[in-house]
Structures are given as C-alpha cells and as structure tokens.
Copies of this chain bind each other. A is one copy, B any other.
Amino acid sequence: MIPVKKYSKNDGDSYALGATVCIELLKNRPASVRGVFFHSELVQSDARDLVEKLCRESGIPVEINDKVFRILSQKENCYMIAVFEKTTDPVSAERPHIVLVQPSNAGNLGTIIRTAAGFNVPDLILIRPAADIFDPKVVRASMGAVFLICHRYFDSFESYAEAFPYKVFYPFMLDGSTDIRDTVFDKNFALIFGNEATGLPTEFATIGHPVRISHTASIDSLNLPVAAGIGLYEAFGQIRKQSL
C-alpha cells in the first residue's frame, strides 16, 4: 500500500516503531496516520486489539508486511510500525515553553519531550541547528509523547524572543546567578537549556533570570535530560501550588 523507505529528515512522512508509540499516535493524532504495518510474527494481544480498533474507527489501513520491518527497524524488537505525516499544532503563546538551544542527541530530545509532557509543558521550541523531532529515534525515546506536544523550530534565539515577547526567560547555566531552589517561576515561563556538550552561550547570562542547579564539584555538569527534568519538576510544582 504505502511506499516505505529509510527515514530522511527531508521526507514528509515518518515512522512510529513499536506498539506503545503506535498507540499514542493513533490516540492523539489519528488524522496524520497513513497506515499501520504488522509483522507476520505479531501475536494476538490487548495492544494489537486496541491498534486494530483505533485503525478501524479512523479508517486507517492495516497491512501485514515483513519487508517494511527489514527496511525500517533492523535490530530492534519491533512488530508494529505506523506511517504518519509530520504535522504539529501551533505553539501556544499562553502556556509555558521549554526551549532547547541546539540539542544534538535524538535520545535526549525524546526523553525531554516525555518529561515535558509529564510536567505539563506541552510547547517545545527548538533553536537550530537541532536534532529532528520526527526522527523515529526521537519518537521512540519520547514513548510517543511527541504526539502530545506542539513544537516550532527557530533559526536563532533572537527570532524566538521576538515572536514571543511576553515570555519570562529562565536560562539554565552552570554559573546561573540564582539557585533553582531560590527561583520563583512566573507562570508564563520559558525554561531554556543548551547543547549537551557546550551548554548555553555566555550571553544568556544577561537574558531573563539565569538559573543554576547546584551540585557537588565532583562532576562538571548534569546530563541534559536530568537537568531539564529537574527544571520542569520545580517549575511544575510551583505553578501547581500557585493554582491551588
């Protein structure tokens, strides 16, 4: 049915690999799904039943086709693949943002998306050069949370800041002027994190309210998804408390 080839970031379609990710896609963005492939060795299960039901409801074709798995999934333990059109809803100006400046690792990007969805920050800004959010590795690492969020790419932080002038910026930096525990997050916050290897450029020290996550001197820095997780956890906790 649908032609399938190795994923490229310039394609209009991408792939959701595995049952968990397929189910999130079918539940949250059924209109973008072009079809679902089952491997001939896929056994009967609740997950399979659910996928078949969701596909029936939305008129999405299902096909058994092992060749597709040889092209797309290689070594992974994967018996279900959905083909979907790469779409996103517009990022909201009213809700808080998480901003990733030049994130390079697909697994990290997926993990951060999952955490952001879990802490109620479903609007993601990516400053180029940045990993491709629809790369099947990102989709998989997000456990399908990529289908719960909106995102938008910008060529520079400046163009983002111009587009959203009312955001309150919190750049996370090793030498941020305020410890996160002493930071009060505005409910219109944008949490900003730098690249895995280099962090944020020094000029972010003069933007908004720079934040540091204090740790012992025995390590140079925290892992990026861990730092983003702590930032999201703190901001989520504060906003939830304010709204009680």
Do A119 and B215 form a contact, CB below 8 Å, given A222-B114, A223-B111, A237-B181? yes
Query: Which segment of A29-37, A65-73, A184-192, A225-233 sits at the interface?
Result: A225-233
CB-CB contacts of A109-153 with B at 8 A, as 1s and 0s? Answer: 001001101111010000000000000000000010100100000
- Interface range on chain A (Cβ under 8 Å from partner): 20 to 34
Do A118 and B225 form a contact, CB below 8 Å, given A230-B230, A233-B230? no
Please report the C-alpha to C-alpha distance between residue A122 and residue B222 in the assembled complex, in whole angstroms. 15
**B233 and A213 contacting across the interface, CB-CB below 8 Å:** yes
Instruction: Tell me the dominant secondary structure on chain A's binding face.
Output: helix
Please report the C-alpha to C-alpha distance between residue A26 and residue B4 in the assembled complex, in whole angstroms. 49
Do A225 and B222 form a contact, CB below 8 Å, given A181-B237, A237-B181? no
Can you list 21 pairs linking A and B with CB atoms under 8 Å apart? Answer: A107-B107, A111-B223, A114-B222, A115-B222, A117-B216, A117-B219, A118-B216, A118-B218, A118-B219, A118-B222, A119-B216, A120-B216, A143-B219, A143-B220, A148-B218, A148-B219, A215-B236, A223-B225, A229-B229, A230-B230, A230-B233
Binding site for B on A (CB under 8 A): 107, 111, 114-115, 117-120, 122, 143, 145, 148, 181, 213, 215-216, 218-220, 222-223, 225-227, 229-230, 233, 236-237
